[in-house]
Every structure is written in C-alpha cells, then in structure tokens.
Amino acid sequence: MSLTGTPLFTWLSNLVMTLQPEMLMLAGADWSLQNEQGWSALQEAICNREERIAKIIVRHYQPLAWAKWCRRLPRLIGTMRRMRDFYMEISFHFESSVIPFISRIAPSDTYKIWKRDANLRADMTLAGFDGFRIQRSDQSILFLGDGSEDGKVPPGSLCMVSHKDKEAMNALDGAGAPATDAEVAAGSDCHVSNQYIQAWD
C-alpha cells in the first residue's frame, strides 16, 4: 500500500499512464500524424474527453510545429528559388439569380501575387467580417525566403504589412514558444465539438 492507501500497483500504473504522453511529447512525437480514420492524437483525446492528454499535447505542439517548420524551411526556400518568377491575380466574387443582393453581403476580392527568387508577396483588401459587414484593409503578406538585404529580417520570415497604418509585423514572432496556460486551457477544452489549432502544416 502507498501512503495514500491506494494499492501500490494501481498507484504505479496511474503514474506510468500519466507520464507516457508527457515523455512521448518531450521526445518529439509528432502529434499531427493521423490514424487510419484520419484522426490526430489531439482530436482523439478531445473526442474521448481525455483532457489530461489533450493538455499535454497542446502544451507541446507549438515548439514541435516550429521545429518541423524550421526543418522544412531550407527545402521550401530551395524549391522557390528553382521556380520561375511570376505575377498573377486571383479574383473572386459571388452572384446569384436566386438570392438577390448576395453580392452585397458576400465577400469579394482580388489577390495580387508576386514571386521573385525565394520571396513571395500577396496583396489583398479582405480583412475579415463583423457580423454581415465585410471589413477591408489594404494589406500585404510577405514571405521573405531570402531575408532582408540589410540582414535585419532573417530568411524565412513571414510578415504582415498594413499599408494604411504603415505597420509591419513578423507573423512568426514567438512561434516556437510553449503555449501559455490560457492557450492550453482553450486548446484542450474537451467540451467543445470543434477545435482549431494553429500550426504550420
């Protein structure tokens, strides 16, 4: 018997079951891999209401996803350098003869995309929604595969530029940091039916 009155074998068994997921994640287990039915370990844990396991996965997913991104980045940059430079526009809008005025509430935009060497730029105006109202903002997404010429921006940076506010931010700042307690709680909530975890896959 243990000091708490629990049979020692039961106590040890529970301890091992608690440590296994933590040890796997610390060893770099890829939580994003899917089983034959297409479920990831996090999805399985949430659906089975295994909140403890879900919290362990969420606590470790950002550093592991960042490590995977860093491993893949040189190959991505090399592939982009080998591709031909291009410019293209992608336009979308919705019209319907059945639903009147759909074009007024449905989103529409034209994405302008440039690729030069290992760098990519996409200009857009669609920023989001506020109820049925479309929010617009003149913005660009920059993937700087070569980094900046002055060396201040490292290769592989992903930047969001707001032309109206004249602000730029690195979208990958803090990407490899462990999840905060609030992120762990939100990401492992076993009482929700749909989860979205930001990752680089």
Give 3-state DSSP helix, strand, coil % of the chain, rounded to 5: 35, 25, 40
pLDDT for the residue 5: 53
pLDDT for the residue 199: 45
- Of 49-53, 69-73, 179-183, 185-189, the range with the highest mean pLDDT is 69-73
pLDDT at 180 over 50: yes
pLDDT at 128 over 80: no
Return the beta strands (E) in the chain as ranges: 86-92, 109-116, 119-130, 133-144, 157-162, 167-170
Structure token pair of residue 148: 């900046």
C-alpha to C-alpha distance for 108 and 88, rounded to whole angstroms = 17
Percent of the chain topping pLDDT 70: 75
pLDDT for the residue 16: 52
Lowest mean pLDDT among 98-112, 158-172, 174-188: 174-188
Lowest mean pLDDT among 92-96, 102-106, 164-168: 102-106
Name which of 63, 64, 61, 51 is nearest 188 in CA terms.
51
Q: What is the pLDDT of residues 139-172, one digit of tens each?
A: 898 998 888 888 888 888 888 888 888 888 887 7
131 Cα distance to chain centroid: 24
Question: Average pLDDT for residues 50-63, to the nearest whole number?
Answer: 79
Question: Average pLDDT for residues 22-30, to the nearest whole number?
Answer: 74
pLDDT for the residue 195: 45
Whole-model pTM? 0.61
